[in-house]
Structures are given as structure tokens and as C-alpha cells.
Structure 1
Amino acid sequence: MLSLLRTPRWISFTALVIVLIVAFGLLSRWQWSRAETHRMERIAIDERANMPPVPLARLIPLGTQLPGDLEWRQASAIGTFTGQSALVRKRPLDGQNGFWVMSALQLADGTFVWINRGWTQATGDALRTPTVAPAPTGTVELIGRLRPSESGPNPQPKDLPEGQVTDADMAILPSVSGPANDLYLELVSSTPDAHAGLTLLTPPEIDDSRNISYAVQWLLFAAVGIVGWFFFLRREARADASEEADQRN
């Protein structure tokens, strides 16, 4: 058997198998790393989203870009809805296409923050704007998760239906009459109810099981390579031994 490994054909074949096994091992390690990254992201989001709410102005100064370690934190706010709103298009939920419903909230100090009041299902083609219940009037106390302003095309496409925008981008939402936060709040709860007829959004569910499955698959491929290499080596060695025995006889 060992003499076979010294032949040029088996040297090449063994080198190829080694390269493949190393490659499969590296791919498995990469998938494990991605799974660990997703797991840490999930833990971080869960921890932030479950922290007690803090007044918005205490969490982040006006005009400050939202840092990553504050994203998904819960903030409280008190104010009145201005009546300004927009629908952010192409926001699927549970396999259904729909819109985010954005409404401007004026706070007691005269500043503004946009509130994602929830999701509504699309009622027809992309050019049809669904009817949405207006935000409540009067003073509203609410809690929402901090979300960064998105980046969308400015100016917006000319063929967009009135009241629709492509992104939750503070620069392309309707103008407010005062300084506004460069972020929005994803509504969690409010008094009075500000999401009538809408579906409240939830933090993302980050699944690492697919990466773990891929990591295991790459290890199995490596194992198959090792077993296959040994199987072919043993089979050829037996064939050579049988041929030598026949020649002696």
C-alpha cells in the first residue's frame, strides 16, 4: 500500500485530496464564524430591545447620528402628531408586500421625530396607496425602538404615487417646521393607541442555524474525502496484491 503512495498518480491524487480537505475545513470554519457573528448580533439586539426605556433626549442629542450600540434601544417620547405622514414602500412582512406608516411627532421642546407606527398590507399594485387610519390627536406618550435614518435617492423617482417614499430617510420624508432627529422610532406602545389597524414591527429574528448546517456539511465533505481516499487506496492495493499473486501462481 505504501508503495502506491510513491507513484506519481497517487502523489497527485493525494495532494488534490489534501487541498480539498483543507478548503472544506476553511469553509466550515468560515460558516462557524458567521454563525457566531449572527449569534452575538442576536444577543446584542435582544439585550438592547429589552432594556428599560429612556427619554429620547437623554439617550441621544438632537442632530446626532445614531451610533450602533444604541440601535434597538427603547426610548420614550411625549408629543403631538403633526398630521404629516408618508408610506415607505416595498416593506414585506410574513411573505406579504406592504408599507411602513411614518408619522411626524412634535415633542414638547419643539423638535420633531418620525415614528414608524407599524406595517400595513398593500391592497393592490405598487401604484395604489392604501388607506391608513390617521395618527391620534392630542398629547401622545409612546415608547419606540431607536432606528437609524435610511439612505434613499434624493430627489425621489418622479413616478412615485403621492404620499409614498422609497426609504425611511429623514432627508426625503416631508419637511417639518423645526429641527428633527436624524433617526426614527419604531413604535412599541403608545397612549392613546397610535397603531390602530396596523401591525407593530418586532426586532429581527437572526437565525444562525443555516450557517451551522453549512459548517457541518463542509466537515462531512472533508470526511467523505478522507474515507474516499482510503477506500480507493485500499482497493487498488488489493488489486495489485491479487495481480501479483496470480503472476506467482
Structure 2
Amino acid sequence: MGSFRFLLSRRWILFGIAVVLLTYLAWVLGQWQFHRLDDRRDRNSIVERNEGRDPVEVTDVLGVGEPVDASEEWTSVTATGTYAVEDSVVVRYRTRDSAPGVDVVVPLVLADGTSVLVDRGWMATENSGGLRGTDTDALPAPPSGEVTVTGWVRRDATDGGSTEVTQQSTRSISSDRIGEALDREVLTGFVDLAEESPEAAEPLDPPPLPELDEGPHFFYGLQWWFFGLLAVFGFCYLAYDEWRGGPARRDRLRAERRARAEEEERKQAEVQARIRAERERSRT
């Protein structure tokens, strides 16, 4: 067996640095997954708390130019007004159970003249990206006249590219961008519809409530940490193998096995030769 001075060679130093970096990366990614788990638990607790409250007036939670606080999302609210059907906005690329479709967002004009955006739900389409809000004839009509809606407060999307509004259609809901495109004063944030009174003749599929499970983050975090430990174990095993002799030792063992096999073959050949010689003498 040799010494551990081989660890000071250039090859092993670079190998060690690579293992350290890989282990650090696995640690960071594991920590990231556990942070996401904490965020998921915080969000679930907010949803559970807010869903259990009685509905409040929408203006008690939403206001013009007042971003929705994370602690207020999924608060149950109620609002009364009239739908501005001509300003309906289609949210494209919303699939359900692999079926293409869109969400339909309609401003509800309140008594003070401001509007709250109401995501009335999902409808199936032949192409989730082809329908436009200006195709109002293709959209199921909301109730006419004064309507009272109950729903859940939602925060605006923050991806600037996806919130762009073109021909009254968008990919993500931003009250600021939609209000600007429609030239309307709208409350910041929007409402996922739960109920309408009176009910629509052709209701849409309601927006889904959030899932309250913890997701796969815990197991993903353990998985990343396992990869880090595996890298350290692999390095230690290879270093131990090298210390015991490494490739040279394995070559020596293979040579010894080959020599033993050749010796065994030689002995078997001698035995066969003696047997043949005995047979020849017995014939004579």
C-alpha cells in the first residue's frame, strides 16, 4: 500500500476541487428547495386563513394603485356592479386536463365608476391561443344589469412580456396593463369568480382554488443533498482505492489470476499426456 501523497498531484487536486464545487452546488440547491417548501407552507396558511373568513367588500381589500399584499390574496370578497361586456379580455393558453382553452376576464363597473376585473372562468376552444377578446360573440354572455359577484382576491402577474394586452387578449392578468389598454380606472389586482347573482345563462368553468399540499420540495431537497454526499463518498472511495494500489494493484491481481490459470492448464495438459502414455504402454 502507498501513501496519500498522490492527492497532491494535479489530477487529484482538480478532481477534489470539482467534488467540492459539486457538493456545494448540491447543498445550495437543497437549501433552495427547503426555502420553497417554507414559502409553500406560508402561502398555504394564508390561503386557509383567508378562505375561512366571511366575504368583505372588494374595496376593503383592493384599491386603485394599491398593490395587493401577499397576506390578502385569496381573501373572499363581494362586489356589486354592471359587467362591461364590450371590454372583455381573453387570457390565452389556459389548458385544463390537456384541453386547450382560455379564461374570460370582464370588468365589473362599480357604483363609483371604477372597475374591478373579474376572471369569470374557463372555456374550451379549438386553439388556446387563437381567440381574441374582440370576438365577443364567441364568449358566453355574463348576466346583464346589476350583478353581485363573490370571489377570491388575486395578485397581478409580474411577467411584463406575458401581461402585454393585444386586441383585448393577454397571456397573464395584470390590472394595470388591462386598465391602460381599455382606458378604464380599475382596482389593482383582480377577482377569481366563485358565484354570480343572478347566475349566467351559460356559466363558465370556475377558476380553480389553489392546491394546499406541500409539493415535492422536501424530497427534492433531500435528493440534492444525497447527490452531494454521493460525490464525497465517491471521491473518498476512489482515493482509498488509489492508496491500496489503484490500477497497478488491479493489473497485478489480474496477472496473478492469469498465471494461476495458465499453471492450471499446464498441469491438466501434463495429466492428459501421462494418461495417453499409459494407454500406449498398455497396448504394447
Q: How high is the TM-score relative to the length of structure 1?
A: 0.75
Deviation, 1:200, is 0.4
Which of 115-124 and 60-69 deviates more? 60-69
Deviation, 1:61, is 4.2
Q: Find the counterpart in structure 1 of residue 143 from structure 2.
A: 136
List alignment gaps of at least 5 residues for structure 1: none
Structure 1's 56 and 213: CA in aligned 2 closer, same or farther, altered over 3 A?
Answer: same
Structure 1's 53 and 224: CA in aligned 2 closer, same or farther, altered over 3 A?
Answer: same
Q: Which has the higher strand share?
A: 1
Matched ranges for 1:174-189 at <5 A: 174-175=182-183, 180-189=186-195
Rounded to whole Å, the distance in 2 between the matches of 1:64 and 1:40 is 22
Rounded to whole Å, the distance in 2 between the matches of 1:29 and 1:62 is 38
Rounded to whole Å, the distance in 1 between the matches of 2:94 and 2:79 is 27
Higher relative contact order (CA 8 A, sep 6+): 1
- Higher CA-based Rg: 2
Rounded to whole Å, the distance in 2 between the matches of 1:64 and 1:228 is 54
Rounded to whole Å, the distance in 2 between the matches of 1:112 and 1:222 is 53
Runs of 4+ in 1 over 6 A off after TM superposition: 240-243
Identity of aligned residues (%): 23
Deviation, 1:63, is 5.0
Alignment size in residue pairs = 236
Structure 1's 3 and 206: CA in aligned 2 closer, same or farther, altered over 3 A?
Answer: farther
Matched ranges for 1:1-249 at <5 A: 3-4=3-4, 7-9=7-9, 12=13, 13-62=15-64, 64-94=66-96, 95-124=98-127, 126-128=129-131, 129=135, 131-149=138-156, 152-153=163-164, 156-157=165-166, 160=167, 164-166=168-170, 167-168=172-173, 169-172=177-180, 174-175=182-183, 180-194=186-200, 196-205=202-211, 209-239=215-245
Q: Which has the higher helix share?
A: 2
Structure 1's 16 and 120: CA in aligned 2 closer, same or farther, altered over 3 A?
Answer: closer
Deviation, 1:119, is 1.1
Rounded to whole Å, the distance in 2 between the matches of 1:123 and 1:209 is 31
Deviation, 1:199, is 0.8
